[in-house]
Amino acid sequence: MRNRKLLNLCSNDYLGLASRGPVPGQPQASSRLVSGSDPAHTTLEKALARHAGTGAALLYPTGYMANLGAIQALVRKGDRIFSDELNHASIIDACALSGGRVSVYAHNDMDELRRMLKRCRGRAHVITEGVFSMDGDMAKLIEITELARGRASVILDDAHGDFVCGRSGRGTAELLGVRGKVDVYTSSLSKGLGSFGGYMAAGRDDVKLCINGSRAFIYTSALPAHIARDALRRISADAEPRRRKLAENARRLSEGLLDAGFRAGSDSHIIPVHVGGERAAVELGRQLAREGVFAQPVRYPSVPRGKARIRISATARLTKGHVEGALEAFGRAGRRLGLV
């Protein structure tokens, strides 16, 4: 520590096995606030703050824990929370644990959100995903940030848009031109970045509040330092060619599925193929597997009853042959089941 060797008497590496592993350096067998911190963490946090355009950032072991930790720390008991009805389970759980009073507005319904904010008195927060994980559509961030101005903070979970959307991969807020109007970002390092972990980014005071009051940060072992170094290396890489390829693949998949007669398509790389019944969605998944395509059915409780679907996640690794072959497989499976 600071060029001095110290005897560590506060690690949870009880059998001394972590320090004997394949990765050199201080093992993350403790909380960051005890002995789990490593220079790689702070270096990555500075890079993430620059990426998000905020004063500071804070790492969490996963994106789920970033939502849990940031919302629980930043929302005071009695604060009003306005949450989109299709928000991820981690947001729902975080809101429940926060002590805030939660009001759920219909998905992307700006008229309902406007009415809720107009009636609100006191501290308030609007929480939304950027790219919604099950439907693949985007939050109306231009309208949300305008409605919230002077009335509420805006907390954006951009796990599915971060590193993917926007001119330089800075997410849905960059894509929609509202980067400076979002107060708190939460995100994942395991999706668009292809590494592991999660983070929140905000002003320095909010990050300090999370460091000292976020239970999901304080009471868990730190993200392994070698993973932090991996994430840092990936942030520094030029991902623009991959973003262009991803957009091309997503566009072709959406168009091809619609042309084949499926109720499908979205404006992002998450493409739901709507089936409706749970059994029908499961059977379509089975038929696709027979065709050599792994595309999992999503059903209740992940989505409402009667709204089961196959959820496609386009990636930049797909070749033109992969995409066209997948579309042919969907067509054959859909015709066998009478879906198209």
| Residues with catalytic roles | 133, 160, 191
Token pair recorded at residue 214:
């976020």
Token pair recorded at residue 6:
């110290």
Q: Which helix (H) or strand (E) holds 270?
A: strand 270-276
Write the DSSP assignment of 168-226 as a string of letters: TS--HHHHTT-GGG-SEEEEESSSSS-S--EEEEE-HHHHHHHHHH-HHHHTSPPPPHH
Q: Which helix (H) or strand (E) holds 56?
A: strand 56-60
Token pair recorded at residue 230:
């991996």
**What's the half-sphere exposure (Cβ side, CA atoms, 13 Å) at 87?**
28
Return contacts of 112-119, CB within 8 angstroms, 24+ apart: 113/82, 113/144, 113/147, 114/147, 116/82, 117/82, 117/147, 117/148, 117/151, 117/152
Among 163, 159, 170, 165, CA closest to 127 = 159
Place of tokens 């991902």: 239
Alpha carbon 248 to its chain centroid, in Å, reads 22
Pairing of strands 153-157, 184-188: parallel
CB 234 within 8 A of CB 194: yes
How far is it, in rounded angstroms, from Cα 145 to Cα 60?
A: 26
Among 324, 231, 214, 314, CA closest to 273 = 314
SS3 10: coil
How far is it, in rounded angstroms, from Cα 95 to Cα 127?
A: 9
**What's the half-sphere exposure (Cβ side, CA atoms, 13 Å) at 238?**
2
